Structure 1
Amino acid sequence: MAEIAIATPATPPVAKTANAIAKAALVMLLALALLYPDQSHLRDKAAGMRAVGYPIVSFAVPLLWWTLWRDRMSFPWLPDLLITITCFTDILGNRMDLYDTIVWFDDWIHFMNTGLLAAAIILLSLPHTSGLGRCVERALAVGATGAIAWELAEYFAFISRTSQRSFVYGDTLGDLALGVSGALVAGILVHRLWRRGLLVAT
């Protein structure tokens, strides 16, 4: 089981504001997606599952902190923001139709969002004195698990019902590789920021 770090990274005020704005915007975009799925470019793309799953994910840290961690650590603003961004960027990308109009956007989202999620879990579950090997190990565990879970969710949500499902195998492998690569980069980056004192304990 992952350890909960006693101290959390110092967070600039802008991260707190960005966190609140991202959460509010996410809820608004999800409501619009349910009301107007065509305008949100989410028809047949599991809008309902996103409307349920994304709030659960983006509000998980506040709930866990309030019920389990508040006596041991200050609120982890930065990890919470990173997790919220992973949900917000996906729903915003669909709303702006970036997945269908920018050929590399889907690849970038798989790389970036898995990396952000891995960074958040590292910040939440490891002390800032952890070595590179431990950071990379945690990042790969989170990245591989998250990437596989996302591909399974995509398959059962809408890929399994499309007539082109026999052609998505290569795309799935590419998404898995990008997700794991993003997590690896995140693990190395968090470790380096810790070593340079740019992410310091409060």
Structure 2
Amino acid sequence: MLGRRTALAAWVVRALTLALLVLGATHPDWHQFAGKAMAARAVAYPLAMLALPVGWWLTRRGRTPYPAVQDLLLTLPFLVDTAGNALDLYDGITWFDDACHFLNWALLLGAVAITLPARLGGWARLGLTVGLGSTTALVWGSASTSRSCATAPSLATAYTDTLGDMTLGTLGSLLAGLVVLRLRAARRA
């Protein structure tokens, strides 16, 4: 029953995210959406949020239970980001962007850490979680910086902001890895 509720929660998160993406893509002139690549997000985010359910349906359906917790963890960061834009939190609260980089990477990499096979051992799973978290933070930061550098006003702060974002993403993935390591150790005890 908990798995069904969790899976339903992930679909509710998808629906809310999609509604906010449509709002942002259809109102790019609103100040909270201006320059935030909402049209690109409106394409990329739904595709990313469908990757797990479609992949499971095509390859695992009937053989393994639906990974509802991972699904929810993977969809929540997209809602956090789009809601942050819709509510103008990125521009209105100075620390919101930093909190998002930490929290969203913790959520995303929590899903990864849960999925990694137990036979790897706790420290190997932790290392893979942090390594993937750091790599994805680097890729995201590089893409974000190249977009930011195209606009002169953000050029002055783009480099230091990106380094901070990558550090926070890596720390979020470390937290996720440590939490999953601890939960698995507690389950074995």
> Above 0.5 in TM-score?
yes
Quick one: distance in 2 between partners of 1:133 and 1:196? Answer: 15
* Mapped partners of 1:61, 1:14: distance in 2: 17
Alignment of 1:1-202 (within 5 A): 11-39=2-30, 41-127=32-118, 130-156=120-146, 158-163=147-152, 164-197=154-187
Query: Where has structure 1 moved over 4 Å in runs of 4 or more?
Result: 10-13
**RMSD across aligned positions (CA):** 2.0
Q: Which runs of 5+ in 1 are unaligned?
A: 1-9
Distance in 2 between the 1:33 and 1:26 partners?
A: 10
Deviations 1:47-100 (CA, angstroms, capped at 9, x unpaired): 111111111111110011011122431110010111100111000001001111
The structural deviation recorded for 1:11 is 4.5
Structure with higher helix content = 2
Whether contact under 8 Å (2:145, 2:162) holds in the other structure is: no
Q: Which moved more, 1:54-63 or 1:132-141?
A: 132-141
Greater shift after overlay, 139-148 or 92-101? 139-148
Offset of residue 191 of structure 1: 1.3
How many corresponding residue pairs?
Answer: 187
Rounded to whole Å, the distance in 1 between the matches of 2:185 and 2:115 is 17
Aligned-pair identity (%): 35
Offset at 1:40?
Answer: 7.1
TM-score, normalised to structure 1, is 0.85
Task: Give the Cα–Cα distance (whole angstroms) in 2 for the partners of residues 39 and 89 of structure 1.
Answer: 19
Larger relative contact order (Cα-Cα within 8 Å, sequence gap ≥ 6): 1
